[in-house]
Chains A and B, each alone.
Chain A
Amino acid sequence: MSDVYVMGVDMIKFGRFPDRSVPNIGAEAALMALDDAGLGIQDMQALYCGNLGQANAMVGQRILQEIGQTGMPVVNVANACATGATAFREAWMSIKAGMYDVVLAVGVEQMGKGLLGGAGGGDGIPKEGLLGSGTMPCVFAEAGMEHTKEHGTTFEQFAKISVKNHHHSTMNPKAMYQIETPLNEVMNAEMISYPNTKLMCSVNVDGSAAAVLVSEKKAKELGMSRAVKVRASALASDPFTDRDLVMPDVNACTRLAAKDAYEQAGIGPEDVNLVELHDCFATAEMLHYENLGLCKDGEAGKMIDEGHVELGGKVPVNVSGGLLSKGHPLGATGIANIYEICTHLREEAGARQVEGARIGMTHVIGLGTACGIHILEKVN
């Protein structure tokens, strides 16, 4: 099986674009990624398009209607917050399978404002606020409080994650926000679901990201100078755990995907130089330090207290600003974080550059549950 390389990758600056269509937002990133690869739409052999909000509306084809209808196969993908990563992985698999040498993956989302999620639904009466809460800030607060129960993790430690990611985003011109949020500001912001304040919740934004993936043969033909090698692509669903059907278990699913990814790459967590992980809420990021093996179980609080996950630390996490400050356009997120890692491996990340980065990891998790992990490696 051929190795797979990212030859072009880009994302638009995340923001709010209510006057644009979903395909139009996706088309912009697609063209940027093609330009980055030095290729045109006519060079692509297939398109894998990730979008959640219009999952039944042929977004991939509508993107091609804006940038070039070659008749190539298009697959539209939806997998909750792992949608973008799943589209990228489908593209990766098509090259691994030997079907194609050059394919395009696009992730795009247009979000409304406000709370996501909801308990129950269907017949009868609304269940929200009656049988607990299905809002995302609450669901991830419950997951964070499980960590508090086991390891004594504090509200302040969770809040520090948000301080860190907002700080990182001040160095990322493509992030939604470039604003410092001191600890007291994070902790005193409106409480949404304890222990997540408003500044500890990801930002609903519109956005898109895209990548051109190529086979080794094609990469050599095009030149390897800015190519990034895909060392692993893992996808897991939620394995059975006792509470999973009532309380989605993002830990077991992430650990399963991480194990697969490390095995594929033949490396361990100690070899990873930077990570973009799914900080949909500050409480979630804390869990994934341990789930991804960046530290031992019970040491996540120490990771943030001692600065190991900051830019300049042992393993910087979410130097893009993460979902908390860069923003979280659901279907785009899984490719946007691949863009971030590639940008560091290409030594093009400017002020937020992780020096000497050779291997980076991306992680997304969609409730329901889907976890996508990619490990990327610098070629030159």
Chain B
Amino acid sequence: MSETKPLPVVDFLKIPDDGDPYLEGYRCKKCESTYLGERNVCSKCFARNEMEVIKLSETGVLHSYAIVFRSFPGIDVPYISAIVDLDDGGTIKGNLINIEPDPDKIEFNMPVKITYGDALGRKDKEGNSYLSYFFEPA
């Protein structure tokens, strides 16, 4: 198979033809609430058609997490499921990598950054590869 561009794992992960991947958010111009993915109405202040498209920050802090030891069949464990508050608004969930899955090693509010990489070798039915985002200690 020829070298093809991977697909984004979620719609809000953007992969420009010329440049680095990034996460896209929608921010309400009225109340500044930040959302992942496209939307027209703000669920906080109910404003319509006041959304602006923004690039989400690549850095944030660890809000909460759990360490997953049992998942569905075929999913490698353990891994850290993390909730991250991004520095310029928005909250995002993902795997926290490059740190031991041990509560003694993980600190709340620790700074993390977003990295991008292959989606753990997972491919869809057509054989397409995917690009995913991860968190790692900053």
Within 8 A of B (CB), among A139-196: 139, 141-143, 145-146, 148-149, 155, 190-196
Sort chain B's interface into a size bin.
35 or more
Instruction: Give chain A residues whose Cβ lies under 8 Å from the Cβ of B85.
Output: 243
Looking at chain A's contact residues, is the secondary structure mostly helix, strand, loop, or mixed?
loop
Instruction: Give chain A residues whose Cβ lies under 8 Å from the Cβ of B116.
Output: none
Docked Cα-Cα span, A196 to B95, in Å, equals: 18
Within 8 A of A (CB), among B67-83: 67-72, 75-77, 79, 81-83
Least CB distance, B127 to chain A, in whole angstroms: 11
Is the Cβ of A138 less than 8 Å from the Cβ of B68?
yes
Instruction: Give chain A residues whose Cβ lies under 8 Å from the Cβ of B66.
Output: 133, 137-139, 141-142, 145, 193-196
Instruction: Give chain A residues whose Cβ lies under 8 Å from the Cβ of B36.
Output: 245-246
Verify if B55 is at the interface (C-beta below 8 Å from A).
Answer: no
Residue of A nearest to B132 (CB): A130
Q: Residue B70 contacts which of A190, A195, A247 (CB distance < 8 angstroms)?
A: A190
Q: A124-B7, A242-B33 are in contact. Are A115 and B72 (CB under 8 A)?
A: yes
Is the Cβ of A194 less than 8 Å from the Cβ of B69?
yes
Verify if A1 is at the interface (C-beta below 8 Å from B).
Answer: no
Residue of B nearest to A135 (CB): B71
Q: Residue B81 contacts which of A123, A133, A190, A242 (CB distance < 8 angstroms)?
A: A133
Is the Cβ of A131 less than 8 Å from the Cβ of B10?
yes
Verify if A128 is at the interface (C-beta below 8 Å from B).
Answer: yes
Instruction: Give chain B residues whose Cβ lies under 8 Å from the Cβ of A190.
Output: 69-70
- Total interface residues on A, CB under 8 Å, equals 40
Verify if A293 is at the interface (C-beta below 8 Å from B).
Answer: no
Is the Cβ of A124 less than 8 Å from the Cβ of B124?
yes
Instruction: Give chain A residues whose Cβ lies under 8 Å from the Cβ of B57.
Output: none
Is the Cβ of A129 less than 8 Å from the Cβ of B43?
no
Q: A246-B83, A247-B83 are in contact. Are A129 and B75 (CB under 8 A)?
A: yes
Instruction: Give chain A residues whose Cβ lies under 8 Å from the Cβ of B119.
Output: 125, 130
Contact with B along A255-279 (1 / 0, CB 8 A): 0000000000000000000000000
Instruction: Give chain B residues whose Cβ lies under 8 Å from the Cβ of A73.
Output: none
Least CB distance, B129 to chain A, in whole angstroms: 9
Is the Cβ of B94 less than 8 Å from the Cβ of A131?
yes
Docked Cα-Cα span, A191 to B75, in Å, equals: 16
Q: Contacts A125-B124, A126-B75, A133-B79 given; 8 further ones with Cβ under 8 A?
A: A120-B10, A132-B82, A133-B81, A137-B70, A145-B65, A192-B69, A243-B85, A247-B93
Top 10 A-B pairs, shortest CB-CB distance: A141-B66, A132-B81, A129-B75, A194-B67, A125-B122, A149-B108, A133-B81, A243-B91, A191-B69, A132-B93
Interface, chain A (partner B; CB < 8 A): 115, 118-120, 123-133, 135, 137-139, 141-143, 145-146, 148-149, 155, 190-196, 240, 242-243, 245-247
